[in-house]
Structure 1
């Protein structure tokens, strides 16, 4: 069994951050989104992993994620020159996949469930394909499946105006080698892409065994700022234990579950968890509220924030109004010349310098 993780795409919904970096590397609780998927796959016993990368961000993904040693896996990087669809990604990965069954995992997904039960079902029933589904309030925004009472997939439709059900495709698929023949039979969609839904529909039309399982736990698509902030909140709520390895002065107060990395220094500040502060940060005269993640080597002085994600190397200095629901990019600088009267919300890309006057 192998795995194929898709880590290409332009990430247009997370711009300006994704002008300069891969959306799958944006951190949730100070860990790249992509790594959660790798860890889920390895925990299910799959250690031979291919990662689809793009020309724009592939080098960054490869440099940050490495050869897989840190995860106990072996990673092969596969370049997709153009974003020509999910089925195209499988097509160009065939030399890596060969005839092995595999799991395909979209790299910007986060799920609560372990993959083992789904993998066991796929193997035990000797299926040609299995898809994971989740009921959603807005199925028109997703690929949608119609299934019978036994879980057999009847048909799929991509972003329908009139959805046949409320069951959205999660972005995690299990395939046998028959998917390669199905992809060879389809044509590009109106978007000019080879759609994986068309390939799965081809399997259904050929009377292949295609079934669905429903996720019981949460599923997070982190493609937008608010979705990413929600993911950060859920991960901190679910998994943060709390530990302080940095240096705190006597005026600093820690409330609740807070993680502070090695080399970080916190002076005259209050940190209310769940919250995480990375390594080698400097926090002074600040209030860090719940559901905040501060990346490594960040500097916050005279700042007040909560429910926000601050990426590595960012600086927030002299902002006396509360910052909420914000996403601030790597090495960005946010400063203020004078006090402002209202709460502030930001989405600031990498390497920006913003001064409030």
Structure 2
């Protein structure tokens, strides 16, 4: 069994929100029964994971976030909510969720981003090794950065927003982790990249998929939200599967 983990405990201050309404609830375009609809990005993520192999979903929320909790409890099934009581980073949120995942492999997806092509999630859920999804960018210093061994098809190193990037590959916040990865997480983990690097240094294989930049739909700064809507609209009108 593969478990899905969705992290949605951040305040989303870069998105221009007030902390009461979280960016995971902002709508993007998607298709239901071949109909184009608008729905919250966390809803799109949840349904992708459920449709393509995650029998159980663990969702990390801020205990003060009543709106997201109400939406999740009203619309989702087969899920468990865990809370990040203190704002201690993405890595800490993943650690909290991993404690509820037990011994299963897990797909980790940040609640504010999704790969546009829905069927791509089937490939992710069937991964054989810990796996990252990366895309080429012009300004890698603004992203989590992945250094790749393109001969052996492995990830050599990951760095969170490096001042001097070693590659132009950014990391999408969609990962597949084998269950042994949990041994490299603890309650003091802040950046997930630190745990991934320690996992690699211990001799574990981390593979990667290169996706097109336009495939990764992520809600970031408020000035770019209209571009997110536009891209999700275009992608859903051109997607073949």
TM-score bracket, normalised by the shorter chain, equals 0.7 to 0.9
Q: How does 1:7-156 map to 2 (within 5 A)?
A: 7-15=8-16, 17-29=17-29, 30-57=38-65, 59-66=66-73, 69=76, 73-113=77-117, 114-120=120-126, 122-123=127-128, 127=129, 129-149=130-150, 150-156=152-158
Q: Runs of 5+ in structure 1 lacking a partner?
A: 242-357
Larger helix proportion of the pair = 2
TM-superposed deviation, 1:194: 1.8
TM-superposed deviation, 1:209: 1.4
Q: Highest Rg: 1 or 2?
A: 1
TM-superposed deviation, 1:177: 1.8
Q: Distance in 1 between matches of 2:86 and 2:219?
A: 22
Residues 220, 227 of structure 1: 8 Å contact kept: no
Q: Distance in 1 between matches of 2:139 and 2:67?
A: 33
Residues 118, 213 of structure 1: 8 Å contact kept: no
Residue 145 of structure 1: SS of its match in structure 2?
strand
Q: Runs of 5+ in structure 2 lacking a partner?
A: 30-37
Q: Distance in 1 between matches of 2:197 and 2:51?
A: 30
Which of 166, 172, 192 is the matching residue for 1:196?
192
Residue 83 of structure 1: SS of its match in structure 2?
coil
1:145-165 deviation digits (Å, cap 9, x = unpaired) = 111123211111111111110
Residues 61, 82 of structure 2: 8 Å contact kept: yes
Residues 33, 108 of structure 1: 8 Å contact kept: yes
Normalising by structure 1, what TM-score?
0.59
Say whether 1:212 aligns with 2:208: yes
Q: Distance in 2 between matches of 1:20 and 1:171?
A: 23
Q: Distance in 2 between matches of 1:94 and 1:197?
A: 16
Residue in 1 that maps onto 2:223? 226
Structure with more contact order per residue of length (Cα contacts < 8 Å, sep ≥ 6)? 2
TM-superposed deviation, 1:204: 0.5
TM-superposed deviation, 1:3: 0.5
Q: Distance in 2 between matches of 1:139 and 1:183?
A: 25
Q: Distance in 2 between matches of 1:226 and 1:119?
A: 33
Residue 140 of structure 1: SS of its match in structure 2?
helix
Q: Distance in 2 between matches of 1:177 and 1:236?
A: 35
Say whether 1:169 aligns with 2:191: no
TM-superposed deviation, 1:98: 0.5
1:264-296 deviation digits (Å, cap 9, x = unpaired) = xxxxxxxxxxxxxxxxxxxxxxxxxxxxxxxxx
Alignment CA distance shift 1:139-1:210 (3 Å): same
Normalising by structure 2, what TM-score?
0.86
TM-superposed deviation, 1:178: 1.5
Q: Distance in 1 between matches of 2:56 and 2:176?
A: 15
Count of residue pairs the alignment pairs up: 225
